[in-house]
Structure 1
Amino acid sequence: MPGGGTSGGGSAHDHEPRTMRVAGLDVPVVTASAVVVGTGSAGYCAAARLAQLGMRDVVMVADKVNAGASRNAGSDKQTYYKLTLSGGEPDSVREMAQTLFAGGAMDGDNALAEAALSARAFLHLVDLGVPFPQNRFGEFVGYKTDHDPRQRATSVGPYTSRTMVERLEARVRADGARVLDRCRVVDVVTAPDDAGGRRVVGLLVLRTDVPHDGAASPWLLLRCASLVYATGGPAGMYATRVFPNGQWGAAGAALRAGVRGKNLTEWQFGLASTHPRWNVSGTYMQVLPRFVSTDADGGDEREFLTEAIDDYGRLLSLVFLKGYQWPFDVRKARDGSSLIDLLVYRETVLRGRRVFLDFRRNPVRERLDPSALSAEARDYLDRAGVLFGTPVERLRRMNDPAYRFYLERNPYLDLERDLLEVDVCAQHNNGGLVVDAWWQSNVAGLFPVGEAAGAHGVYRPGGAALNSGQVGAMRAAQFIAARRAGGAVVGDAGVGGADRAGVLDDGAFAAASSSTLAAAQALTEAATARAAAGTPDNTGDLLREVQRLMSAKAGPVRSERSIREALDQVRDWLAGYGETVSADGGSRRSVDRVFLVRDILTSAYVYLSAMADYLAHGGRSRGSVLYTDAMGGLPRVGHGPHARDELDLPEAFRLTLDDGALDDQVQEVALTPGEGAGEVTFTWRARRPIPEGGDFFENVWREFREHGNVW
């Protein structure tokens, strides 16, 4: 096989690895017009849509095919958000777009696309076999979710996203796309484009099923013209998280490649069980469980909500509201249901105790007193026929699959007998990598989709993330098929420009990827040499330390001081990483963690920098984050003359709500690798408005005839 030749280069449909000489190493190279990274619902959707549009030249890669949030995460009734498709209640694309846009800091073209294509994306899943409920006349009925003025939400139960993944995967397998497992993302390979920026030409991954000290190369290069980045959010940054085991993200590699971050400060946190990791939303809260805390050993059990909420009826009603006000919302921390999240946080983080849900006994009193409930809660539970018994009896009557979920885990939990440990966990990153109206980033040819994409704003309706992933994948596939499907191998990195970029030939690709591969090889050799010389493997310790630091200093409760402390520590770790990391060269897991930890440190560095800049820009508490403000107020309970103002709560809970001044602004963040940890710069811009006009049929028809649906 040719080594680093400058012509010929091989076919753009060569999915079998070809050995090339790059940076002095013999490395297998797989070539495709498009590579999809990630095997969740967004990644599989992108691959399926590309095949549907005639592109069979697609390769998928994943660190673990069966891991990830889409396949393994859920809740009592996992929600999918879409345009109303039942009943007589009026709805429209424009109205749904406005709902999404109203969340703040969201670009209007993304909101319009997510609304306009929601029905098409939803029905695509239906046609693939996802059993969304419909009535006997074919209407897809819905319900109201958080931040939803209509009844646009639907569900197939606890495993909505898993069912989506399974049906999409079956479609992709039937289409014949190649899926490569055990591939850790190391770095994105880029080259200059005609516009003076950068464009994607490939991806370097570490094959974690190949020993680093063996005869075969553990490296794999993927050569492509387009890269769909469906890697999920940077879940590995936090210790206290509901993301499933095996969901890590790969934001760091994209940030190092020059992809800008967008709205990185906007995380979503919520109550979740910790063993197993699972959202305790919906019915789990509506059946009114008892909240108890214990010391570290399980002793000294006590109900702690009553310390701040001494009104029995108010306490029950706030717990009920957590069912569909599940994410921590700082606006509801001042006399609202999110006060419960703060009280749990006080127990676990500030007091070092453990918190459990007890479904065996009623809160405060032995018997439930329905007359004390708010009218909303009492009417709902009455209509469900559960104004009786214990929380677990109510749960089994309302939603037995939610009860049985824990019975089916290993080790299993029986909520009729066992306490369920919970905490306030990182659940979703509403920010992410910057995307335009076609989900293309500022690096040409790189398309972040799903949670990796910064398509959301501060708030979003429950289930909007699943819709966004399907729509973003569809938009990316449409653009790639229309503008970037030229598979001819070309020898010059600039040929074809940003829209018609082809796949580089051997010589050009070897030149573009040489420094990336050489740096990865050098980092591995240095880390394994340290371990061989007697320095203990520290990859696992570093991973745990950065996760604990992020949860302690940059979780749902943050301050300017805590962010600065975390940023200083992460900057030091990252700047000295190449000189301090030590990895057992005989352990594939240890070598894998060299790059996993580097990716998490890169992400944490950029994310913490964004948080510090947000505060410097005048940002205050908003979304799912409380920023401590010594001049602010503490949460309270009640209304009017009977309100309990300034509850006896920690000073860390003093807050000033954001006044909305930044809702029309978007923060973008760029990392420039260099000395030390590199330089992080910021840009604040007005968010793109919802596009107006363009709906006169004759004009749209003419444009469509001339350009298709991509212009």
Structure 2
Amino acid sequence: MTQTVPQEILDALTDVDMPRLGAEPGPHDHVQLGRHRVPRHRAGAVVVGSGAAGLRAAVEMTRRGVDTAIVTQSAWGGTSACSGSDKQTLHTANTADRGDDFKAMARAIRAGGAMDEDTAYVEAVGSVRAMASLQYLGLPLPQDPLGGTLRYQTDHDDVGRATSCGPRTSRLMVKMLAEEAIRLGVPFLNQTTVVRILTEGTGDARRATGLLAIRPRDRTDENPYGLVLFDCATVVLAAGGPGELYRDSVFPNGCFGSLGLALEAGLTLVNITESQFGIGTRREGFPWNLSGTYVQVIPHIYSVDAEGREHHFLAEYYRTTQELASNVFRKGYQWPFHASRMLDFQSSLADLAIFREARKGRRVFMDFNRNPLPVTGDQPFSLDRLDADVARYLATAGADHALPIDRLRHMNPLAIELYRRYKVDIATEPLEFAVNHQHMNGGIAVDTWGRSSVSGIYAIGEAAGTHGITRPGGSALNAGQVFGTRVAEHVAATTAFAPTPVPVRATAEDAVRRIDALLRPEGLPLRDVRSEVQARMSDSAGILCRAEAVAEARALAAALNAAIRRQGLSLTRSGEVARALQWQQMALASEAVLTALDHYIGKGGGSRGARAICDDTGEALPDSSQGPLTDYRFRTEREEDKAEQILVRLDGTRIALSTRANRPFDETARPFFERDWPAWLTGAIYTAD
């Protein structure tokens, strides 16, 4: 029997209107930077980005008396406000269900490897506080009649720590935090693109002094680029991930992140070889991950060739209808592609099949009005013939309906409403989708307080490289909230002792000279740079990689950056200055990712969360109902690679690499109140290494 949820409730959880921003603050003064007369703003701390993580940092710093401003390319235009999946999640460790505790949760968060153990514990301990504060602000996380949080299992999570208030969970988070930031009077500077981080000093003494950005509304004859200067000693990078890095991407358009920006500023990056790929609708329409109930209702998946013929292609991979249907279901909580799940007819064999159909030039669809067609020679689909874990889940959910759309309407009507808002009615028409890049697990290297390798610069959210190889689904949202608060605590406790910032004008003038030198009429066209970067990353650094192809891609990426330095970039109109600088930085980020990936593969690294490293001598061979898939034989992951992380920084024009062991966490250590309280009272916890 289908549960009926009133339409007004569905509307409230689907149509999440964002608050209106107030009047923007004017500049403190103007400075002359070369031929540009530039407005200057001052703040104690500037948060770059207005997603859930950045808003949390801004709110918490303001509450602690830090003079804070938010600079954002597009308020409410990032991934946490605009993109996501069927069930976005926050993690809860607030009950002892199935023996859970913070240490167990930390082990689950870091289980994939290449993650600092202390960071995992920080995220576990902070999860309860993050969730409770969001509930205090009004986030409608679901509860049982006695006040316990409703929870479920998600990717890489065997206990079931996740919770959700529907597909708009992260957008609701942004809304609640934005309303609080506005209430606190945090100034927002919207339509403002940060293009350079300004620093002074060398080595360990290097520190932040400000930011250089571009605002179209500040463009004048005396300021042709629309430059704006921010004088600040603290910078919090919260601009999300590099969505534009890949052609095949589920990120909203215009998501550049800050990897190239950070490299140019001398920051160290970590784990940028590690991403998440999975099935979703592309950003050309409405970008959304097809995890959770979208696949747990087991729709029919098929492809269409150029002549319009349908192909029941999954039947060429799975041996029985039951095996096919059960693994489509498992994509709900095994959503990200994982190389090992291509083996033994598991769920990522479906990702490989979908990826191959796209390579053939076919379009792939899921149809919620049809159950999966049978595998040739086998019995038809039936809810009575499913693997035990699948049958148990659907029975517990009461999803015994004849068609996938009716099962979806029963289990998650919000999933249908969400696409309807974007003029796609999955109740009446098939949904086109593909395997896309969805999240970068790596990013800027930070410590347990969110500090980067340059003093005064912090990174949180997807900008920070804290996640390791794999992570439980939804833990990224939790990490952004936890570290947004941690950064605020650290800034408030330590900036009172920070030296007075040096005048920023000299470094700003140098940055402007470099921008002037980059923009040339005879330079490389932006559209060519974009096409080259995105095609190379999707074709050579997607879910399937080969050593020779990655090495060639790295060389070509380095050649592109050399050409940009030599020839510059050309614009078709004056309003493209910010985009030109972002694509210059994206080309740099692309070279960094490919250099790290080439290094990892070259030293014998195997297949893991993000990618399968295909190798004719590899130990693992995926099988299909038609026989072995010999073209996709791959290396298996080595245990020793899980224990270390690859670090990347820019040394002149060269990408420099190093490795370090994961930071440990001593689970046997016990705090002692009288002994440890003074460190809290004196602020020593913030200054200890």
Name the TM-score, length of structure 1 as normaliser: 0.88
- Kept in 2, the 8 Å contact 1:27–1:217? The answer is no
The residue that corresponds to 1:315 in the other structure is 324
Aligned to 2:557: 570
Q: State the one-letter code of the partner of 1:598.
A: Q
Deviations along 1:604-653, one digit per CA (max 9) or x if unpaired, are 0111101011112221101121111111232125xxxxxx6x934361x2
Q: Secondary structure at the match of 1:542?
A: helix
Counterpart residue identity of residue 167, structure 1: M
Task: Kindly state the Cα deviation for residue 256 of structure 1 after the two structures are TM-superposed.
Answer: 1.1
2:236 and 2:458 in contact (8 A); partners too: yes
Note closer, same or farther for the CA distance 1:93–1:122 as it changes in structure 2 (3 Å cut): same
1:519 corresponds in structure 2 to 514
Aligned positions of 1:453-492 closer than 5 A: 453-485=464-496
Q: Contact between 2:36 and 2:223, CA under 8 Å: does it hold in 1?
A: no
Distance change in 2, residues 1:452/1:401 (3 Å) = same
- Aligned partner of 2:658 in structure 1 is 683
Please say if 1:704 is aligned against 2:680. Answer: yes
Residue 610 of structure 2 corresponds to 624
Encode CA deviations 1:646-700: one digit per residue, 9 max, x unaligned: 934361x211210311111111111123xxxx11111111110014525112112
Instruction: Work out the CA distance in 1 between the residues paired with 2:194 and 2:551.
Output: 29
- Corresponding residue SS for 2:193: strand
Verify the 8 A CA contact 1:242 1:272 in the aligned structure 2: yes
- 1:494-537 CA-to-partner distances (Å, cap 9, x unmatched) read xxxxxx13322xxx31122221121112323x2xx33xxxx8x8
* 1:151-166 alignment, distance < 5 Å: 151-166=160-175
Q: Give me the whole-angstrom Cα distance separating, in 1, the residues matched to 2:339 and 2:297.
A: 24
Q: 2:226 aligns with which of 218, 223, 244?
A: 218
Q: Find out whether 1:27 has 2:35 as its counterpart.
A: no
SS in 1 for 2:639: coil
2:646 corresponds to which of 659, 667, 670: 667
Are 1:169 and 2:169 counterparts? no
Alpha-carbon distance change, 296 to 600 in structure 1, aligned in 2, over 3 angstroms = farther
CA distance in 1 between partners of 2:347 and 2:238 (Å): 33
1:381-417 CA-to-partner distances (Å, cap 9, x unmatched) read: 22223333222122112211101211110xx122232
Q: CA deviation at 1:113?
A: 1.0
Pairing partner for 1:36 from 14, 23, 47: 47
Which residue matches 2:533? 546
Q: CA shift at 1:283, angstroms?
A: 0.6
Match status 1:203 vs 2:190: no
Is the CA contact 2:529–2:587 (under 8 Å) kept in the aligned structure 1? no
Distance 1:236 1:466 in 2: 20
Query: How far did residue 485 of structure 1 move?
Result: 4.0
1:21 match: secondary structure: strand
How far is the alpha carbon of 1:72 from its aligned partner?
0.6
The one-character-per-residue Cα deviations of 1:46-101 (angstroms, maximum 9, x if unpaired) are: 0001011121x111101111211010112222111232x24654322222222222
Distance 1:520 1:620 in 2: 40
Equivalences, count: 654
Separation of aligned partners in 1, 2:100 and 2:673: 21
CA distance in 2, matches of 1:89, 1:684: 37
SS in 2 for 1:269: strand
Partner SS state of residue 627, structure 2: coil
- Aligned position for 1:493: none
Q: Does residue 591 of structure 1 match 2:577?
A: yes
1:11 maps to which residue? none
1:244 to 252, 259, 268: 252
State the alpha-carbon separation in 2 of the partners of residues 466 and 391 from structure 1: 29
CA distance in 2, matches of 1:443, 1:217: 28
After superposition, the Cα gap between the structure-2 partners of 1:88 and 1:63, relative to the gap in structure 1 and judged at 3 Å, is closer
Of 701-710 and 60-69, the range deviating more from structure 2: 701-710
CA shift, 1:564, in A, is: 1.6
Name 1:491's counterpart in structure 2. Answer: none
Cross-structure match for 1:265: 273
Cα displacement (A) at 1:425? 0.7
Q: CA deviation at 1:210?
A: 4.5
Of 431-440 and 109-118, more deviation after overlay is shown by: 109-118
Aligned to 1:369: 382
**Considering only aligned residues, what root-mean-square deviation do their CA atoms show, in Å?**
2.0
What is the DSSP-based 3-state SS (H/G/I as helix, E as strand, rest coil) of the residue aligned with 1:326? Answer: coil
1:706 Cα deviation after fit: 2.5
| Rounded Cα–Cα distance in structure 1 between residues aligned with 2:604 and 2:504 | 45
Shift of 1:126: 0.8
What does the per-residue CA deviation read over 1:450-478, in whole Å, with 9 as the maximum and x for residues that have no partner? 00001111111111100110111111111
* Residue matched to 1:408: 421
Cα deviation digits, residues 144-189 of structure 1 (max 9, x gap): 2121232211101001110000110111111111111112221111
Aligned mates of 2:629, 2:636 — CA distance in 1: 17
- Residue number among 450, 463, 474 corresponding to 2:461 in the alignment: 450
* Alignment pair present for 1:68 and 2:43: no
Residue in 2 that maps onto 1:278: 288
Q: Which amino acid is the alignment partner of residue 223 of structure 1?
A: D
Instruction: Label 1:650 to 1:293 Cα distance change in 2 as closer, same or farther (>3 A).
Output: farther
Q: TM-score, normalised by structure 2?
A: 0.91
The 10-residue stretch of structure 1 (660-669 or 204-213) with the greater mean CA deviation from structure 2:
204-213
2:627 alignment partner in structure 1: 647
Percent of aligned pairs with the same amino acid: 37
**Residues 580 and 511 (structure 1 numbering): CA distance in 2 closer, same or farther, change over 3 Å?**
closer
The aligned counterpart of 1:186 is 195
Query: Aligned residue for 1:113?
Result: 122
Whether 2:391 is the aligned partner of 1:378: answer: yes
- The DSSP-based 3-state class of the residue aligned with 1:576 is helix
Equivalences for 1:284-303 in 2 at 5 Å?
284-296=294-306, 299-303=308-312
Counterpart Cα distance in 1 of 2:486 and 2:615: 41
Q: 1:26 to 1:587 in 2, by over 3 A?
A: closer
Equivalent residue, structure 2, for 1:492: none
Q: Does the aligned pair in 2 maintain the 1:368–1:389 contact within 8 Å? A: no
What amino acid sits opposite 2:248 in the alignment?
Answer: T
How do 1:412-423 residues align onto structure 2 when only pairs under 5 Å count?
A: 412-423=423-434
Q: Distance in 1 between matches of 2:553 and 2:655?
A: 15
Q: Is contact 1:585-1:591 (8 Å) kept?
A: no
Q: Distance in 2 between matches of 1:468 and 1:451?
A: 9
Cα distance between partner residues in 2 of 1:18 and 1:664: 50
Change in 2 beyond 3 A, CA 1:209/1:656 = same
**What is the CA–CA distance in structure 2 between the aligned matches of 1:392 and 1:468, rounded to whole Å?**
34
Alignment partners' CA distance in 2, 1:302 and 1:43: 45
CA contact (8 A) 1:634 1:654 kept: yes
Moved more, 203-212 or 122-131: 203-212
Contact 2:622 2:628 in 1 (8 A): no
**d(CA) in 1 for partners of 2:499 and 2:603?**
38
String of CA shifts for 1:525-564, please: whole Å, max 9, x gaps.
Answer: x2xx33xxxx8x8212321231122101111111112212
Alpha-carbon separation, structure 2, partners of 1:248 and 1:441: 19
**What do residues 209-236 of structure 1 show as CA deviations (whole Å, max 9, x unaligned)?**
4447676661111111110000111111
Asked if 1:344 is matched to 2:354, the reply is: yes
The equivalent of 2:405 in structure 1 is: 392
- Secondary structure of the corresponding residue to residue 520 of structure 1: helix
The corresponding residue for 1:489 is: none
2-structure distance, mates of 1:110, 1:168: 24
